[in-house]
Structure formats: C-alpha cells, structure tokens
A and B are shown apart, each in its own frame.
Chain A
Amino acid sequence: MSGVDYLAPASVADAVSALRASAGSARLMAGGTDLLVQMRGGRAKPEVVIDLKRIPGLMGIRGEGGGFVIGAATSGAALGEHEALKAAWPGVIEAANLIGSTQVQGRASLGGNLCNASPAADGVPALIAAGAVCIIEGPAGAREVQVEKVQAGPGKTTLAADEILLAFRLPPRPARSSDAYLRLIPRTEMDIAVVGVGVSLTLDAGGVCNAARVSVGAVAPTCLLVEAAGVALVGTTLDDAALAKMEAAVSAACRPISDKRGTAEYRTKVACVLARRAALIAKDRANA
C-alpha cells in the first residue's frame, strides 16, 4: 500500500473535485474496513484515497422534519449511542451494530456498507425495509434515491464514478411503528450473514398492520425489497395465514447461490423463518 496519496477534504465540493481530478484512480474511504482490507489484499489499487470523515455533513446524526438524517460515514458505534435514533429505528441500529467487532464498529459506516455492495451487507436490508433514502452529491448537484436502487450486483453500485453518498434520510415515524433485523451466522459474532432479513411495519390503533416493508440479504446478487411480502402483512394482525403468505412471497423472491455457507434451498428456507421472526419482533416493538 505504498505509493498512495491521502486526501482529507473538508467539504463535499472539494471531495467531488478531487474525485473528478483523479480520473478513476481514487477511492473514497469512510471507515476503511472494507477498502483497506481490499487494498491490503491487492484487490483495490487506488493511487489516491479520499477520506470522507473530515466533511461535517457526512458525520453524525441529526433530526430533520420529524425524521433523521444519518451522515454516510458515521460509525456504527456512534449510531448505537444515539438513544432517540435507536428508539425510533431499533432494526436499523441492530443491523448496523452487528457489523464486525467492537473495533470494526469504531469505524464501519452504513454508507460504506451500502457502497461496498456486498449482497450479505447487514445494514442494507434494514435500511431498505426502513424506506431509507440516499442523498447523493455529484458534479451536477444533489439527487435522492431509495436505498434499494443503489446496489447493482456484488461490488457494484449505481453511483456514477464522480458521485458521493452524503447521507441517509429516515422518514418520520407514525405511532405504533417499529422494525427488526435478524441474520443467520454459524457463530455468535464476527461472521458473514448466510441470510439477513429486515422488516419495518406500522400498526393502527386496533393492532392491524397498515404499512410493511420486507427486505432480504444474501439470497440474491443484491439485497432485495420484497414488495409482495410487505403487502401480505398489510390489513392483517400478522396472524398465521398472513405470515404464511409473507413467507411464500419471500421464498419466491429468493434466488441464492449454493456455497460453503449454505445451499440455495437452505438459504431460501432460512429467509422465510427469519422473515416471520423479524415481523413478529417488529410487531411486538410497535405495540410496546
């Protein structure tokens, strides 16, 4: 990793122009827990590393319009310490906090988790279920896009080479709303998800679900929004029939590979089981 220049721009405009000037030889860095591992292994060979953590808007959490804006480079540890964010979006925060060890949490960001574009990224299904929106800046100005539109395949995103993810916008939360994220790993810590599932939902005063989103990870080349699975829960109290319908929708959406972590059949089955459990956890939280 010698022969690399390190830049730490203090503004988004400076970061975008450094990115343009590098003509493809630069890489953006948030926590570096993916990028530095890839550089070390020779899979990434940037000439310039652009550290995003000195840009104020990319760090920290702020309330806005009843919702939250999370800076793309904010560490998992900082997210876990934000009580109001954790209370409103326990699923997003539990997913972010599952990433790596205490040490990795000190650095790893949700922006890096999304832009690294692993199909097994833990933060991504939770953000998709939450309906989070990405705020992206490029030479032409800012644009906003749903999180589920960002991953394009393993290691690939729909961001242009000179675009930077600034922040995630989490919408205002109606009463009796909550979310949950579950993953399966063969160990209790420090492993890559065999399957991950995020569910976010809202109940009405009578306990009937009036909005739900379900997202799965590690069962396709990208994390997926399973719209039909959310639809299956709406208008129900999450009774057995509704959960069975949701599971069928999840199963239909899965197109996993078989590898040493699990066969395609196993992954599909586990996705259904985790979706059911996550939905019930989200419901209990929404009622609490």
Chain B
Amino acid sequence: MSRMVVNATVNGEPVEFLAGGGQSLLDALRDELRLTGSKEGCGTGDCGACSVIVDGRLVCACLMLAPEAEGTRIETIEGLADNGHLHPLQHQFLEQAALQCGFCTPGLLMASKALLDRNADPTESEVRYWLAGNMCRCTGYDKVVRAVMDAAADLRQAEKPR
C-alpha cells in the first residue's frame, strides 16, 4: 500500500499530510491533522457526527477517502469560531442548551452552517429536513432547531445595513 501526499486547504490554511489509500477523511483530520472536533459515531454515513464542508458541500467525512481531499477546500468545526469569537450558531446552541453530551454538536453545527450559507431564512421544516442526517441521542432536537432558527435571525440582523 502506498501512502500519498495530499494538499488541501483546511479552515483557510494550506495543509499537507500523508494519507493511506483507504483512509477516511475523518481519520486523516483526526489522526494526521489532530483536528479531533469532528467525531465518529457510526463510520457508515448514518449519524452525521463527522459532518464537514468540502468545496461548499456538506459531506460525511467518514464516507470520503482522505486522498480525495487533494486540492479541496475543507471547513471543520475548528474553523467555525472567528479568533475566539463564537459563531452565532455556537452562541445560540449555548444560549438554548441545544446540547447535553455534545458528541453530535460539531456535526450539527457544521450541517447548520451549510444550511445558513445557502438559505438565510429557512422554515422550521426546512431546518428539520436538512438536519435529518444528524442524530442526537440527548436533546430531542427541539432545542437544536430553535437554536438554528434564532441563529439564522441573528445572522440576518447582522447583515442588515445600518
């Protein structure tokens, strides 16, 4: 088996790492790049705990091979806050207690970010369908959905010309 050199942009920074041909992007992020925010719940695409954004598309990092990342732009949970300033989604998740154990939270935040990046004003049912691939065993989802709706409102407010 040959390991390959992979060059990509992760959270705005150029990175270079060695990847095994059959290694998942999730394992590369966690083990090679030491970005352990993305979690592995299932490894089979069912839980969404490993959600990251690759070239603008939300994907399960467990269902993508690390060498596929060559030349891509990857966003992970580690890049969501801006120099210690929490993203409005993170702020609302804390405000509304939209997490308990927190294992699903990085995935839910990245999935929610991908939604708000393309739809600034989603309906509640749009939020629920968009997040259907993110399992949470603790919260019952209601607080998560409310946090996403309120973060969307915060972002719209912040965008308004003063």
Contacts and interface: CB of A to CB of B under 8 A. Distances in A.
Contacts of B20: 1-2, 4
Given A100-B45, A102-B114, A189-B129, A39 B63 contact: no
B68 A51 contact: yes
Given A1-B22, A103-B48, A36 B1 contact: no
A106 to B, nearest CB: 4
A33 to B, nearest CB: 6
Interface string B2-15: 10100000000000
A103 B43 contact: no
Contact of B132 (A6, A49, A189): A189
A6 B59 contact: no
B2 to A, nearest CB: 6
B133 A100 contact: yes
Contacts of B57: 75, 77, 106-107
Contacts of A190: 46, 132-133
B114 to A, nearest CB: 7
B60 interface: yes
Contacts of A4: 1, 20-22
Interface string B46-86: 10100100100111101111011010000000000000000
Contacts of B2: 5
Interface size class of A (residues with CB under 8 A): 20 to 34
For chain B, what secondary structure do more than half of its interface residues adopt (helix, strand, loop), or is it mixed? Answer: mixed
A273 interface: no
Interface size class of B (residues with CB under 8 A): 35 or more
Given A32-B65, A100-B133, A107 B59 contact: yes
A40 B21 contact: no
Given A40-B43, A190-B133, A102 B58 contact: yes
Nearest to A32: B63
Contact of A101 (B24, B43, B48, B68): B48
A29 B4 CA distance: 18
A236 B48 CA distance: 47
B23 A2 contact: yes
Interface string A31-54: 111001101110000001101010
B133 A6 contact: no
B111 interface: yes
Contact of A102 (B4, B21, B133): B133
Interface in A4-32: 4-6, 8, 29, 31-32
A283 to B, nearest CB: 26
A220 interface: no
B133 A101 contact: yes
Given A32-B63, A33-B45, A102-B132, A1 B24 contact: yes
B133 A104 contact: yes
A51 B65 contact: yes
A3 interface: yes
B4 A6 contact: yes
Contact of B64 (A41, A107, A188): A107
A103 B62 CA distance: 11
Given A4-B22, A101-B132, A106 B45 contact: no
A84 to B, nearest CB: 19
Interface string B106-143: 00000100110000000000000111111000000000
A43 to B, nearest CB: 12
A97 B41 CA distance: 24
Nearest to B111: A102
A41 B46 CA distance: 14
Contacts of A189: 129, 132-133
Given A5-B21, A36-B24, A49-B21, A104 B1 contact: no
26 contacts: A4-B21, A5-B2, A6-B21, A6-B67, A8-B68, A32-B64, A37-B44, A40-B44, A48-B21, A49-B21, A49-B65, A101-B133, A102-B111, A102-B130, A103-B58, A103-B59, A103-B63, A103-B111, A103-B133, A104-B63, A106-B58, A107-B59, A107-B64, A188-B132, A189-B132, A190-B133
